[in-house]
Structure 1
């Protein structure tokens, strides 16, 4: 979403910046992890596919993506933005009839950044951005049953489970 291309959202522990071409290499490295693929229900992409995906997200007005930076590293001028990356947070506007509802996702990819409140703060910052800038009124999330940490996080910030789907295996 180009609307957020000049946005910078600063919290106490994290900073959100738009997902740009410079971030793709590190993002691609994260997504080679089978753990992250499982937790995010993602398929591995080639590096070229990852660059194409970033560009499609950049131009798609129904997707808003920010990279989550570790603020303590970010404020230190010795570190590049890439060195500070710890995850991403996304909004998807899936309904053509209702732009006030968005699906929200969070991924804290760096193990060293998990369990420190980064995910919670990034979610709350993104939700506030969605309300203030994009006029979102309702948020939904799709979380795999095995992703206990995400389920607990979303429950902690007030989400309620409305359904559970079982995947069929053959």
Structure 2
């Protein structure tokens, strides 16, 4: 999505930056993992297809993506690729004139898993969706075996609304009201928004 191409979001643990060409080889390497393919419902792509995907994500109006950097690592090295730990996405949907988005988070680097990085990255992405895209509802689809993600989305306030046995996934939803939006802002009060160059 073009809206975020010059946006850098800096939290306490993570930094979100637009998905750029230099990020593709490491992202491609992650996605060779059968475990990550299973958890994200992805199919393996060639490196050339991954570059094409990165280009399309940059301009598609219904997809928003950020690469997640480990803040401490980036501040020590000033190297985005070395500091990459995952990505976060919003797929923009429409439902009865309500702006709905499907959020996704992947922390691919094992060293960064279970440390709250995915939780913070998802909060930042949700805030961005509410503030910049006027999202009114988030609908997450998560594999039934992905207990860590289900637990994280519950912590974010999502409620399970459906189980689809055929796809072995649960649907979790969060309707945004002023209370939820202000609580999210409060949790992210140290968030910095900078120009990405």
**What TM-score comes out, normalization by structure 1 length?**
0.95
Q: CA deviation at 1:120?
A: 0.3
**Secondary structure class of the residue paired with 2:115:** coil
**Secondary structure class of the residue paired with 1:164:** strand
Query: Between Structure 1 and Structure 2, which shows a larger proportion of strand residues?
Result: 2
* Aligned partners of 1:93 and 1:99 also within 8 Å: no
Question: In 1, Cα distance between the equivalents of 2:94 and 2:51?
Answer: 26
- Paired residue for 2:27? 27
Question: In 2, Cα distance between the equivalents of 1:94 and 1:136?
Answer: 10
Structure 1: 5+ residue runs without aligned partners?
Answer: none
Taking structure 1 as reference, are residues 100 and 25 closer, same or farther at Cα in structure 2, changes over 3 Å only? same
Which stretch shifts more, 53-62 or 97-106?
Answer: 97-106
Structure 2: 5+ residue runs without aligned partners?
Answer: 169-197
- Paired residue for 1:72? 72
- How many matched pairs? 168
Q: CA deviation at 1:99?
A: 6.0
- Aligned residue runs from structure 1 range 1-170, under 5 A: 1-76=1-76, 78-95=77-94, 98=97, 100-167=99-166
Question: In 2, Cα distance between the equivalents of 1:105 and 1:45?
Answer: 19
Taking structure 1 as reference, are residues 50 and 153 closer, same or farther at Cα in structure 2, changes over 3 Å only? same
Q: CA deviation at 1:137?
A: 1.5
* Aligned partners of 1:16 and 1:67 also within 8 Å: yes
Taking structure 1 as reference, are residues 99 and 16 closer, same or farther at Cα in structure 2, changes over 3 Å only? farther
Question: In 2, Cα distance between the equivalents of 1:168 and 1:161?
Answer: 15
* Aligned partners of 2:93 and 2:99 also within 8 Å: no
Deviations, residues 68-112 of structure 1 (Å, cap 9, x unaligned): 000001112x34100000000000112276462111000000000
Which stretch shifts more, 128-137 or 104-113?
Answer: 128-137
**What TM-score comes out, normalization by structure 2 length?**
0.82
Taking structure 1 as reference, are residues 161 and 52 closer, same or farther at Cα in structure 2, changes over 3 Å only? same
* Aligned partners of 2:36 and 2:108 also within 8 Å: yes
Taking structure 1 as reference, are residues 151 and 82 closer, same or farther at Cα in structure 2, changes over 3 Å only? same
